[in-house]
Amino acid sequence: MKINENFLNLKDSYLFATVGRKTAEYKKNHPDKDVIRLSIGDVTLPLAPVVIEAMHKAVEDMSRKETFKGYGPDQYCYGYECLIDSIRGSYARKGVTLRPEEIFISDGAKSDCGNILDIFSVDNVVLVPDPVYPVYVDTNVMAGRKIIYADANEANGFLPMPDMSVDADIIYICSPNNPTGAAYSKEQLRAWVDYALKKDAVILYDAAYEFFVTDGNLARSIYQVEGAEKCAIELCSYSKTAGFTGVRCGYTIVPTELVRGGVSLNKLWARRQSTKFNGVSYITQMGAAAVFSEEGEKQCRENLAYYQKNAKTIADCLDGLGIWYTGGKNSPYIWLKCPDGMDSWAFFDKLLEEANVVGTPGSGFGRNGEGYFRLTAFGSAEATEEACRRIREVLKK
């Protein structure tokens, strides 16, 4: 028996596990301190009333013989038609037409970011931005793929553009970006689509934060760029859009026009899913189907406005302190430059010890993240305001 030795090339623990461990240690030694967590991007508002109502109804369905559901329908890899239709409707409002068989329901974008790699050879070269959501890197390290990096930095506004002299086969793009909060315009994405088409590469586009986009020039889906259906897979999630971090539901779009090596990637993914996945629960899918109803979107937008206000509270605090940052506008993340040239973990310790506020050290997202720090707007309004008050007090000294 041999283990997968690629796992030995991973860092000891997942970034958020390290942050969690350090926070727990501090709490253990200082039980009287009120620690505010603005680190992992986990939502704090309850689900929208229409979602709860739909889930209650689905529970009732499960209690009666006539309406009980077992496995989901296999026509769309266990996705219920009403959910697929509601997703198609939400894309239509962004100007994108999808066929039902192009939409695969999942338990969230994180799982599919890793799972989708099953359909690609390990020989492919993977291009990721640096800094980057650790899942893109770790899942490829586990598989033993070669990873190359596109530098994101202050000079390019943390939005790297393609370099034709670099050959990549799989490209990860997350916009609005985790961790930097920076978001590509449709014009900038066009350059990435052109690059992928020229190189015969595939873009894995993580749109988990698209609901936060308010600026019409910015992309909400890569399919808003012509030609993307021939080179891109889009991963999305109800986690941040509708507060489903604890419920688990998302969707992956694999266009029928996406063909590599003469093979339809849509067919490969359908084959993979029908073998390794048995779908998302009926109750969850019914809740998700309520999200893109007229009333559902209205209620989810109200929750979103709450988080956007938190983002503004943090941005105003940083403006007042003269600290450079990206994000916060079309994104729930604020990516700031650590003051006084501090490194990311030194700033983490300072905020934890002096302000009792927990954020995420930028260096945990890659080499270019060193000297930066991420705060999230997903906390409660009271906690966010209190955290900013403490940060102001500590950094003004």
Instruction: Give the interface with ligand MLT as residue ranges (CB under 6 A).
Output: 40-42, 110, 178
Written in H, E and C, the secondary structure of the chain is CCCCHHHHHCCCCCHHHHHHHHHHHHHHHCCCCCCEECCCCCCCCCCCHHHHHHHHHHHHHHHCCCCCCCCCCHHHCCCCHHHHHHHHHHHHCCCCCCCHHHEEEECCHHHHHHHHHHHCCCCCEEEEEECCCHHHHHHHHHHCCEEEEEECCHHHCCCCCCCCCCCCCEEEEECCCCCCCCCCEHHHHHHHHHHHHHHCCEEEEECCCHHHCCCCCECCCHHHCCCHHHCEEEEEECHHHHCCCCCCCEEEECCCCCEECCEEHHHHHHHHHHHHCCCCCHHHHHHHHCCCCHHHHHHHHHHHHHHHHHHHHHHHHHHHHCCCEEECCCCCEEEEECHHHCCHHHHHHHHHHHHCEECEEHHHHCHHHCCEEEEECCCCHHHHHHHHHHHHHHHHC
Cβ nearer to ligand MLT, comparing 41 with 243: 41
| Min dist. Cβ of residue 155 to ligand MLT (A) | 24
Cβ nearer to ligand MLT, comparing 35 with 40: 40
| Min dist. Cβ of residue 178 to ligand MLT (A) | 5
Cβ nearer to ligand MLT, comparing 11 with 93: 11
Cβ nearer to ligand MLT, comparing 40 with 197: 40
Cβ nearer to ligand MLT, comparing 178 with 331: 178
| Min dist. Cβ of residue 255 to ligand MLT (A) | 24
Indicate the residue whose CB is closest to ligand MLT.
Answer: 41
| Min dist. Cβ of residue 235 to ligand MLT (A) | 11
Cβ nearer to ligand MLT, comparing 178 with 308: 178
| Min dist. Cβ of residue 249 to ligand MLT (A) | 13
| Min dist. Cβ of residue 197 to ligand MLT (A) | 29
